[in-house]
Structure 1
Amino acid sequence: MFSKFQDHIVSRFPFLAEKKLFLAVSGGLDSMVLLHLMKHLPYEIAVLHCNFQLRGLESFGDQDFIQNYCDQNDIPVFITQFDTEAFAKDYKLSTQVAARELRYSWFYELLEEKNFDYILTAHHADDNLETFIINLTRGTGLDGLIGIPEQNDKIIRPLLPFSREEILKYAAENTIEWREDSSNASNKYLRNKIRHDLVPILKEINPNFLNAFQKTQSYLQESQEMAEDASIMIYQQVAKEAEDDIHFDLNQLKKLPNYKSYLYQWLNEFGFSAWKDIYDLVEGQSGKQVFSGQFRLLKDRSTLILSPILEEIKEEVYHIHESDTEVNFPLKLALCNVGHITIDSNKTIFVDAEKIHFPLVLRKWNEGDVLQPFGMNGKSKKVSKLFKDEKLSLIEKEKIWLLCSDNQIVWVVGIRQDERFKINNTTNKILKIELQ
């Protein structure tokens, strides 16, 4: 196995040469074999061990075992302890999810703090099979069926081609000691039930089942790569990126015979899971929305708009004083007195400085707000009607700010100036306000 592993890591991960590598070591069979293999290869390594304090004295026995092994073999080791159950309770997580979050958060902290490059974990082929079956039972797409990736950002899994049987045989041949996790014997966890009850039946049906499974996964990987290539090509035809938002043209999208698959491919990474609601949104009424944790998808006429959910701004009223020449938050505005006007645009207004009263106020719009739009000879219009005429989406409306003098609107910023503050033949002082 050593030669096979050496060839694999050199061919698949040539960039690891001369890098500093952490090895995540629990003390179990798989991680101790990985440590033994890497110890005999020319890489700079150090060990990471997490004590999750879930198995009483047994957890501390694992910690002492790792510490003694690394001391005896002159391998740098970093150990931490977590109150996993308290963390899980505080954040309403399962114990397994809590342990995973704690582990990887600490791993990435150590990468930066100690200036290491990658973390190697001991996931192997049987782990991959179990993950495949778990995802299959829960319902999944191609991403779930291709299993555990051999590399995910800074996490690398060099044992994935190797079976548990190969690893056990290598440990026996090299008299490698390890710690047996007593929880692995329990069928309390779904993964253990699959490992103890289901996988042996599959291997009994076909002794070469694991090899057949790995071939199937390679075919699925190729299919996924083809799907990703097609997804990118169609995305360029259907989607338009605008600042923080992405606009999907529904007229173009609905021409595709399998547009739901493309939507899944594009939106999955943004944390959406209510796929039926998303597919219904395509034919739904304008204004309907679907939310993920940090994003929302809005139906706006013939467009789907993907945007981040904006954090609430605690203070929604901001004052601009007469001495201010620029504003940097919540908008970037420049203010200056000028002797004449130039060609204006929606991003620049010129107002009669004697008609306004400082401090000016920047605020969000309210449903009852009214202005006298420039060029309408003093006729009033609701701001909401102005938005409708401008065909603004809900997301665009939420981003709009009003510049006000006393309780009167001077400017619907970036859209329309108010008639009451325009310059005329009697104007003595012109104030230029520009959105930057």
Structure 2
Amino acid sequence: MLSKFQNHIDTNLPFLKGKKLLLATSGGIDSMVLVNLCCQSKLDFAVAHCNFQLRGEESNEDENFVKSQAEKLQIPIFIQRFDTKAFAEQNKLSIQVVARNLRYEWFYTLLANHNFDYILTAHHLDDSLETFLINFTRGSGIEGLTGIPEQNDKIVRPLLAFSRNDIEAFAKENLITWREDSSNASDKYLRNKLRHDVIPILKELNPSLLSSFENTITHLKQTQSLAQDAANNLYQKVVSEEENHTVIDIPNLLKYRNYKAYLFEWLQPFGFADWSSVYDLIKAQSGKQVLSNTHILLKNRDSLLLFPKQNTTSDEMFWIQKGQTEVKIPLKLSFCNVSDISLQSTNVIFVDEDLLQFPLTLRRWQEGDIFQPFGMTGKKKLSKYFKDEKFSLPEKANIWLLCSDDKIVWIVGKRQDERFKITANTTKILKINYTN
């Protein structure tokens, strides 16, 4: 296995050579074999051990074991203890999710603080098969059926080419000691149920299961690459990027029979999970939307609009003092006194300065806001104005109001308020210019 491992590094992971590596080490057989292989291959590495304090004294014994092995082999070691259970309860998350998040957050901190180049984990081929089956049973796109990636950003898994049997045989031949995690014997978790009950039956039906699985993964990754190429090509024809949002042209999208697959490829990175609702937006009424944790997908006439949630609300307010000549945040405005008015536009207004109450404020619009549109005698709700002007949700979300006391002076870049216009009685004309 050593020669195969070294050849694997030389052929497929040559960028690891000469780099400073951090090896995630639990003390189990997989990570201790990886430690041994890295030592014999003369790679430059340190080990990092997480004590999640979930198994009482057993967890502490794992920590002491890894520490003693690192000292014996003269390998630098980092140890971190986590109150995992308390963190999970506080944040209402599962123990598994919390442990994973804490582990990798700490690894990346070590990466930054100690100038490591990559994090190595000891995932192997059987782990990848288990992940494939977990995703398969839960329902997954092709990405979830390609197993565990060999490299994901700074995380590298150099044992994915080896089976659990390979690792066990190498450990016995080289008299490697390790710790058994008692939780691995429990069928409480789906992964363990698959490992203990399902995979042995599959291997009995097909003794070459792992070899067949490797071939399947290779084919699936090639298919995934083709799908991504197709999605990228169509993206250029159907999708446009605006300043604050993305527009998907529905009529153009529907020209393609597999439009749902394209939507999945484009939108999956934004955290959407309710795909039936996403697909239903295609034929939904304008105004319907689907939310992910970070984004909003909105049906707007013949388009789907994608934009971040944080663009939709803001409690921020900015003050503008009398005599101030410019504003740079949250948008660029300039103020100057003029003797007469020139051509007015959506980006330039002229107001009677004596009618203003300073300081002026810049704020987001709110439900219930009312103004008197320039040139009109009656007042109008902003929500009605937006509807009449057919503003999309992203456009409304990015609206700023220039206000005097509780009155709207200007829907910036859109419409001035009648109440502050220049008249025959005006003595001070203030020109306000918006630069977008």
TM class by smaller structure: over 0.9
Shift of 1:368: 4.5
Seen in structure 2, the aligned counterparts of structure 1 residues 162 and 356 have a Cα distance that, compared at 3 Å, is same
Correspondence 1:220 to 2:258: no
1:154 maps to: 154
Q: Distance in 1 between matches of 2:381 and 2:193?
A: 64
1:321 maps to: 321
The equivalences for 1:23-42 within 5 A come to 23-42=23-42
Shift of 1:39: 1.1
2:358 maps to: 358
Instruction: Return 350-359 or 169-178, whichever deviates more.
Output: 350-359
2:47 maps to: 47
Seen in structure 2, the aligned counterparts of structure 1 residues 137 and 158 have a Cα distance that, compared at 3 Å, is same
> Match of 1:15, as an amino acid?
F
Q: Deviations along 1:193-215, whole A, 9 cap, x unmatched?
A: 11111111111111111000110
2:430 maps to: 431
2:121 maps to: 121
Give the length in aligned residue pairs: 435
2:88 maps to: 88
The answer for unaligned runs of 5 or more in structure 2 is none
CA contact (8 A) 1:126 1:164 kept: yes
SS of residue paired to 2:199: helix
The answer for unaligned runs of 5 or more in structure 1 is none
Q: Deviations along 1:361-391, whole A, 9 cap, x unmatched?
A: 32333454443433x3656544334323432
CA contact (8 A) 1:270 1:292 kept: yes
Q: Distance in 2 between matches of 1:185 and 1:372?
A: 72
CA contact (8 A) 1:347 1:414 kept: yes
Shift of 1:281: 1.1
Instruction: Return 416-425 or 399-408, whichever deviates more.
Output: 416-425
> Match of 2:55, as an amino acid?
R
Instruction: Return 263-272 or 387-396, whichever deviates more.
Output: 387-396
SS of residue paired to 1:287: coil
2:111 maps to: 111
Instruction: Return 261-270 or 390-399, whichever deviates more.
Output: 390-399
SS of residue paired to 2:310: coil
Q: What is the TM-score of this pair, normalised by structure 1?
A: 0.94
Q: Distance in 1 between matches of 2:402 and 2:93?
A: 45
The equivalences for 1:9-408 within 5 A come to 9-310=9-310, 315-339=315-339, 344-374=344-374, 376=375, 378=377, 380-408=379-407
Seen in structure 2, the aligned counterparts of structure 1 residues 366 and 97 have a Cα distance that, compared at 3 Å, is closer
Shift of 1:255: 1.6
Report the identity percentage: 57
Q: Distance in 1 between matches of 2:366 and 2:185?
A: 62
Q: Distance in 2 between matches of 1:191 and 1:391?
A: 51
Shift of 1:60: 1.0
Q: Distance in 1 between matches of 2:188 and 2:362?
A: 58
Seen in structure 2, the aligned counterparts of structure 1 residues 373 and 47 have a Cα distance that, compared at 3 Å, is same
1:422 maps to: 421
CA contact (8 A) 2:376 2:418 kept: yes
Q: Distance in 1 between matches of 2:262 and 2:103?
A: 34
Q: Distance in 1 between matches of 2:338 and 2:26?
A: 70
Seen in structure 2, the aligned counterparts of structure 1 residues 254 and 313 have a Cα distance that, compared at 3 Å, is closer
SS of residue paired to 1:310: helix
Q: Distance in 2 between matches of 1:311 and 1:372?
A: 26
CA contact (8 A) 2:245 2:394 kept: no
Q: Distance in 1 between matches of 2:277 and 2:156?
A: 36
Shift of 1:316: 4.9
Seen in structure 2, the aligned counterparts of structure 1 residues 341 and 40 have a Cα distance that, compared at 3 Å, is farther
Q: Deviations along 1:77-96, whole A, 9 cap, x unmatched?
A: 00011111111111112211
SS of residue paired to 1:336: strand
Instruction: Return 412-421 or 121-130, whichever deviates more.
Output: 412-421
> Match of 1:14, as an amino acid?
P
CA contact (8 A) 2:47 2:76 kept: yes
CA contact (8 A) 1:320 1:359 kept: yes
Q: Distance in 1 between matches of 2:328 and 2:66?
A: 53
SS of residue paired to 1:122: coil
Q: Distance in 2 between matches of 1:366 and 1:62?
A: 57
Shift of 1:354: 2.9
Q: Deviations along 1:21-66, whole A, 9 cap, x unmatched?
A: 1000111111011111111223220100001111111111111111
Shift of 1:256: 1.4
Q: Deviations along 1:179-202, whole A, 9 cap, x unmatched?
A: 111111122221111111111111
CA contact (8 A) 1:250 1:303 kept: yes
Shift of 1:409: 2.4
Q: Distance in 2 between matches of 1:165 and 1:329?
A: 62
Q: Distance in 1 between matches of 2:14 and 2:368?
A: 64
Q: Distance in 1 between matches of 2:394 and 2:95?
A: 38
Q: Distance in 1 between matches of 2:183 and 2:7?
A: 34
Seen in structure 2, the aligned counterparts of structure 1 residues 366 and 34 have a Cα distance that, compared at 3 Å, is closer
CA contact (8 A) 2:370 2:380 kept: yes
When the two chains are superposed, the root-mean-square deviation of aligned CA atoms in Å is: 2.0
> Match of 2:411, as an amino acid?
V
> Match of 1:248, as an amino acid?
I
Shift of 1:74: 1.2
CA contact (8 A) 2:335 2:432 kept: yes
SS of residue paired to 2:198: helix
CA contact (8 A) 1:378 1:420 kept: no
